Amino acid sequence: MKEINFTLLCIFVGYVPQMDCAKILGVFVIPGPSQYMAGSTMMKILANKGHQVTVLSVFGEKHPPENYRDVVLHGIYEKFTTEQQSNMFNRVSQDYLKPLEIHQMTMMLMDNVFNHTNFKKLMDSNEDFDLVIVEQLQTEALKYIAHHFKAPLIIYSAMDSNYWTNPYQGNPEPPSYVPNVHLPYTCSMNFFQRLWNTLMYCYNELLRELVVHPQQNALLRKYYPQAPSLESMAYNVSLVLLNSDMSVYEPVPKVPSMVSIGGFHIQPPKDLPQDLQRVLDEAENGVIYFSMGSNLKGKNIPKETRDFILRTLSELKEVVLWKFEDENLEGKPKNVIIKKWFPQNDILAHKNVKVFITHGGIFSSMEAVYHGVPLLALPVFADQYMNSIRATLNGYAKYIPFRELTEESFRRDLEQLLKNPIYRSNVAKRSLIMKDKPISPIDNLIFHVEYVIRHKGAHHLKVAALDLNKFQYLLLDVVAFILCSVLVIILLIKCTLKRLFSSKNTKNKEE
C-alpha cells in the first residue's frame, strides 16, 4: 500500500506545473503615489518569486530589489501635481462630468507617456516579454504595449469591477444593483438612485463609444500609425486583477477572467521606530491615527476647517498621530504629533490604535479592516464616497463628506467611534472575513499571473459575451424579432377574422 501511495505521489508531482523565470513588464503610469505603491508592490512580489520584472512608471525605486528594473518617465508626475490639481478639498464636480474629466486626464497622461524619451527607448528596444501588466483607468491605448511586444496582457484595477473593466471582459453590470463608481450608492438603491444609475450607465456607454475610443484611437495612431484599431486590442485581455475583497466590497458578478487579490499590498507589521513605538506603548488612553492619504495634502485643508479640527483634537485624552506636511503647524495641541510620513500599516497593527481618521481610500480602508480599526471617513473625491458609505453601512465607520464637515459633526462622530464598542466589534468581524481565505492574496496573485503565462494567454477564460455586439448581448435583436412576430400574428389573425366576417356577411345577404 505504501508503495502504491508513493507511486501516486510521484505521478502527481510529475504533473505539477513548473514555472520558469519569466520576463514581465509592468506599466504603472497613473501619477498617484498610492497607485504606484500598489503596482510596485505587485512587481516586487513577482520579482521575489524569481521573475525578471521591468517597471514603467513615473516614480521609480530608490533601492530596487534583485530582478527589478525601473524605467522612469521623469517629469510626468510634476505636470499632474500643480497647486490647482492637488488641492481637491474645495473642488466640486457634478456626477455626470466625472467620466469626462477622467477621460481628459487620461488623454493628457497617455500623450505625455507616448511622447516621453524613455518610453520610446523601451518600445524601440528589441526586448521580449512573456507578459505585460497594465494598470487600468480608462487607458485603453496603453494596451497597445502588449500588442507591440506580442505578449499576453493582464489588466490591474485598483478597485472592484467597474465600467472601466467590465465591458472588455463581458462582465455583467446590471444598473439595477451595480452602482457606478462615480455615484455614492451601494448595491441597495431606491427607485430614483436606480434611475440615475441607469442614466449614468447609458451615458458611460455612449461616452466610451462616441468619444473615448475614437480619441484614444487617434492618439495611438499619432504615435504608432501602424497600430491596429483600438477595438481589436481593447478586448484582448487575458485576465483582470481586482484590488477588491468581500470584507470591504459588496458581492457583484465576476466572470472567470476577473480575479480578486485585495489585500496583497498588506505586509506583516515591521518594528516601529523607537520614539514612535514608545508613544504607542505609553498611550494609556489610546491613539488616533489621522491621514488623508498620499494624493491629498493636509496643507490644502481650508484654514477654518483645520482650526476646528485642531480644537476638537485638543479636547481628547487620546494621542493623535497626524500625517501632515508642516511639522511646525501653528496651534498644534500637545496631544497631537505631526509628521510628514508615518508607517501606516505598522501603526494600525498596534493594539492601542482606537480610530483611524481617513479620506476613505481603498488601500487605507483595507488596512484598517485587516487590523480591526474603526474608521472616521471624510471622503473628498472618486471612489472614496462609495468606500465610506459601505464601511458605514457595515457598521465599522462613520461617514461625513469632507465638504459637509462641521465642528459639531466631527466631534459627534469621533466621540461615538471612541466610546461605542459596537464599531470595533463590527470591524473585527470584517477583519475575520478578510483573513478567512483558502489562499492568501499574494499567492493568488502569483498563481494567476503564472497561470496566464503557462497557458499562453489563457484564452479559455474568456466568456462568449465578447463575441456579441451590444444588440445581441442585450437581446435587442431577439426582442425585436418577438415583437415583430407578435405583430405579424396579430395582423394575420385580424385579416383572417375580417375575411371570415366579410364572407359570412356576404353569405347572409345572398340568403
What burial class does residue 192 get, using C-beta atoms within 10 Å of its C-beta: 0-12 exposed, 13-18 middle, 19+ buried? Answer: exposed
SS (H, E, C) 376-442: EECCCCCCHHHHHHHHHHCCCEEECCHHHCCHHHHHHHHHHHHHCCHHHHHHHHHHHHHHCCCCCHH
Helix 362-371 vs helix 422-435: crossing angle, to nearest 10: 100
Name the architecture of domain 274-435: 3-Layer(aba) Sandwich (3.40)
- Which amino acid, one-letter code, is at 273? P
Query: For residue 130, which of 458, 460, 462 has the smallest C-alpha distance?
Result: 458
* Chain segment 313-346, per-residue pLDDT in tens: 999 999 999 999 888 888 899 999 999 999 999 9
* Chain segment 251-277, per-residue pLDDT in tens: 999 999 999 999 999 999 999 999 999
Q: Which residues contact 148 (CB under 8 A, 6 or more apart)?
A: 123, 224
Has residue 362 got a pLDDT over 60? yes
**Does CATH number 3.30.360.10 belong to domain 20-265+440-466?**
no
Own/partner long-range contacts of 12-20 (Cβ < 8 Å, ≥24 apart): 17/450, 17/454, 19/450, 19/453, 19/454
Rounded to whole angstroms, how far apart are CA atoms 369 and 357?
A: 13
- Which amino acid, one-letter code, is at 344? Q
Domain limits, the chain: 20-265+440-466, 274-435, 476-505
Look up residue 31 and give its three cell numbers.
501619477
* Chain segment 87-108, per-residue pLDDT in tens: 677 665 566 678 888 999 999 9
Mean pLDDT of 183-200: 94
Rounded to whole angstroms, how far apart are CA atoms 336 and 349?
A: 20
Mean pLDDT of 438-452: 97
Q: What is the DSSP letter of 179?
A: -
Mean pLDDT of 118-139: 95
**Percent of the residues in the chain that have a pLDDT greater than 90, as a whole number:** 79
Contact indicator for 31, 77 with CB cutoff of 8 Å: yes
- Do 20-265+440-466 and 274-435 have matching folds? yes
What burial class does residue 118 get, using C-beta atoms within 10 Å of its C-beta: 0-12 exposed, 13-18 middle, 19+ buried? Answer: middle
- The pTM of the full predicted model, rounded to 2 decimals, is 0.90
Question: How many Cα atoms occupy the beta-carbon half-sphere of 486 within 13 Å?
Answer: 6
pLDDT value for 5: 52
